[in-house]
Chain A
């Protein structure tokens, strides 16, 4: 953790990047099963034991009933587009950058699930996006039990 002397210019002392800490998050009971599923290229959600809502990505607790949601259910690779946005910005926990290319970001509800998640929409163009359109999952080339196993979703029947 050396101090960066090069960064000292005039009166301004920049202490950028001095603190570097690595974080490793345990995925927990429900998400562990979910990533087991993605390695086999399928979606596994959980179902609330009281109201029967299905969550994908799964969680072991229903917020509305505060009841356990520990029953795992298999879900298909097809989905509906609930909402979308087109953004040139790529923001990660380290930097926010405006790129040259637009990304199509969709809020996608997998059929049979009551929750939705954000993912990229692939193999289509901006003007063809529409709420309620049918999508299917595109798996990444290399599957490794990681959130990025889901490369994105594409329109059913191609663009």
Chain B
């Protein structure tokens, strides 16, 4: 399988991220990222044929906010599409940008992901993920008191700690291993200009010194809530060669959903028995690698950005997407393989663990991966990156997005298949 038109990324931009961007409103926040992207690419806003964007609507309390933000998104009188898939929104928007080019319908597409979480009530928004399910539980004979006390499980932290427990049991990873991931991320974030939690001197002891939020996850291990926006420009191979010094070709995409992991009580399906199993991630990875012609991801991929708000997830994802053997990720982190100057650097941008503007987070992963290939990343790895992976996770803890990017266009198989 290969796309009709080869899509390429020519630019990616960010706005300044912080826990409260109270100086700007949502539209102005997004505008910063859009302006950064367009200026870096060196094109005119009129050259953009189509705008695709998304955020997590229920977190800001604004329904389809793009409608009033049209003028700020360089999208007045242009084709427009809104794609939202929860935490993976950014990744899904990026994939939609890929397809808009691959279809041959549009030539230049601007993809935007944003979130201004300080406007809304994110934890409440996340708890309402589970509320629909909880409402059916009384009919199934559950006691009210128990439902209410379990409600915290609906939020991301609840799911993540289940996931952490099953991962740790399986892989024998320890709390120190989790803390090590956090330290690497936060120290990397200190070198990247736009990130939120910059901690250049944090140590494993510091992280393990913080109290538990939900065992085994401690306060110091958890991602922050950030205001921020990210934008990417997609175009065709021909046009990218004219505009960009090093165009980044998107060679494989996948976005597959497992059952929702939150609760199975809503009769929507069987649910995930083991939240660290991640069938969706394995399938997306398989498809994306297949499209990109990658047979040995652990050898062929030079750089990876994985979506891990919680450190246990980073260990889990790098194994599930085939970068490391099962249960060996913790060891690799200890040996420094994943550090900035390691063999396979991971999340040198600081990752979601340091900056989590939900609607933008999953877009910042492919955006950072693309910038590493271009050699323009905020925290650039010393080695040359040829092939990189941008990964996103979210939805009802079930949807995974994968983008495989390279400085070479997709290998074309001529003569049918």
Contacts and interface: CB of A to CB of B under 8 A. Distances in A.
Chains A and B share a contact (CB less than 8 Å): yes
A29 B124 contact: no
Interface in A1-15: 1-3, 5, 8, 13, 15
Interface stretch (A61-69, A84-92, A116-124): A61-69
Q: Is the contact region of chain B dominated by helix, strand, or loop, or is it mixed?
A: helix
A127 interface: no
Give the interface SS of chain A, mostly helix, strand, loop or mixed: loop
Interface string A6-41: 001000010100111111111111110000000000
B45 A13 contact: no
A1 B121 contact: no
B28 A23 contact: no
Given A23-B60, A23-B61, A66 B74 contact: yes
A31 B68 CA distance: 14
Contact of A28 (B27, B71, B121, B135): B27
Contact of A15 (B21, B45, B119, B135): B135
Contacts, number: 83
A59 interface: yes
Interface residues of B, number: 35
A25 B119 contact: yes
A78 interface: no
A19 B74 contact: no
A26 B22 contact: yes
A7 B26 CA distance: 37
A66 B77 CA distance: 12
Contact of A2 (B31, B71, B138, B148): B148
Interface in B182-212: none
Contact of A23 (B71, B121, B139): B121
B71 A26 contact: no
A109 interface: no
Interface of B: 21-28, 31, 45, 60-62, 70-72, 74, 76, 116, 118-121, 124-125, 127-128, 131, 135, 138-139, 144, 147-148, 151
Given A13-B138, A19-B131, 18 more contacts: A18-B131, A21-B121, A21-B124, A23-B62, A23-B119, A23-B121, A24-B118, A25-B62, A26-B23, A26-B26, A26-B116, A26-B118, A26-B119, A28-B27, A59-B72, A60-B31, A62-B71, A63-B76
